[in-house]
Copies of this chain bind each other. A is one copy, B any other.
Amino acid sequence: MIHNVTSESPIGIFDSGIGGLTVVKAVQAALPAERIIYFGDTARVPYGPKSQVTIRKYAYDDTLILMRYQPKMIIVACNTVSALALDVVEKACGTLPVIGVLKAGAELAVNATKNNRIGVIGTQATVSSNAYACAINMLNAEIEVISQACPLFVPLAEEGFIDHPATKLIAREYLTEIIQHDIDTLVLGCTHYPILRRVIEETIGQSIRIIDSAEAVALRTKQLMTESELLNPARRAYAPHLLVSDLPQKFSMLYKLFMGSEMPDVELVEV
């Protein structure tokens, strides 16, 4: 063990930017007594289009930043790092458990599907990497995975166009084809997409089950902490401790959009 872990140690969560706040929110909802340290690498976002060497270096940096706070586990809220550099994170944090958003989402989807046809939506980088399809087929090779990149969903979510007619039109454009493949399960393979969940639900109809990777991670975390007897016994709820590598102008607006509450103090760290 690299440092001394107790049930009161925090849970470390990182992402390339602010998208991982949906994971923070889901973990808070599942485990309100846990202390959460979140690092968003807002200075170097997005990771998706960068080379694998660069992404692996960033994943290492991000892990070390969280390790300063002696966490009891690490959650990789970034789909790109989950796909291309989870081993880097695991190595950098020794015996600490690591959960990646991608595998957690894939597992939940595999358990949910009845007809073995799963849809996955994500950024262009995530979809091109084929990472969800690989993770799903590692668990069950029989399952057919149909993927669709939805590149405008991130900017639409960040601009708060949650319920806008333009978002509905774009959702219809992206999702019409994928639902024609008779999927019964749809994975939201990007941390921003839960923000647009209602529009997505309206577009695909009620017969398709939505798998929110953020919720999947939270479930898996609760399970793991329970098994390891590391659940925080505190009876109070903690605000997350936020670290960012750059402070975008819109940060407090985005925090409110993602978390539904006012932004606490934010600490700027150098990368």
Query: A residues engaging B (CB < 8 A)?
Result: 43, 49-51, 124-125, 128, 151-152, 154-156, 158-159, 161, 164-167, 169-170, 173, 246, 248-250
- CB nearest neighbor in B for A45: B49
Contact of A128 among B50, B155, B156, B249 (CB under 8 A): B249
Tell me if A49 and B165 are in contact (CB < 8 A): no
Cβ–Cβ < 8 Å partners of A166 in chain B: 165-167, 169-170, 173
User: Which chain B residues lie closer than 8 Å to A50 at the CB level?
Assistant: 43, 246
Q: A154-B155, A164-B173 provided; 6 other pairs, C-beta below 8 A?
A: A50-B246, A51-B246, A152-B161, A161-B170, A166-B169, A166-B170
CA distance A151 to B159 in the complex (A): 8
| B residues in contact with A167, CB < 8 Å | 166
Give chain B nearest CB distance to A56 CB in angstroms: 16
Q: How far is the CB of A225 from chain B (nearest CB, A)?
A: 36
Q: What number of copies of this chain does the assembly contain?
A: 2
- Which 3 residue pairs are nearest across A and B when measured between Cβ atoms? A166-B166, A166-B169, A155-B155
Q: How far is the CA of A152 from the CA of B166 in the complex (A)?
A: 11
Residues on the B chain within 8 Å of A125, using CB: 249
Chain B residues whose CB sits within 8 angstroms of the CB of A169 once the complex forms:
164-166, 169
Contacts of A154 in B (CB 8 A): 155
What is the CA–CA distance of A43 and B124 in the complex, to the nearest angstrom?
17
A250's nearest neighbour on chain B, judged by CB, is: B124
Distance between Cα atoms of A164 and B156 in the complex (Å)? 15
Task: State in angstroms the CA–CA spacing of A43 and B55 once bound together.
Answer: 13
19 contacts between A and B (CB under 8 A): A49-B246, A49-B248, A49-B249, A50-B246, A51-B246, A125-B249, A151-B155, A151-B159, A152-B152, A152-B155, A152-B159, A152-B161, A155-B155, A161-B170, A164-B173, A165-B169, A166-B166, A166-B169, A166-B170
User: What distance in Å separates the Cβ of A244 from its nearest Cβ neighbour in chain B?
Assistant: 12
When distances are taken between beta carbons in the complex, the residues of chain B under 8 Å from A49 are 246, 248-249
| Distance between A128 CB and nearest chain B CB, rounded to angstroms | 6
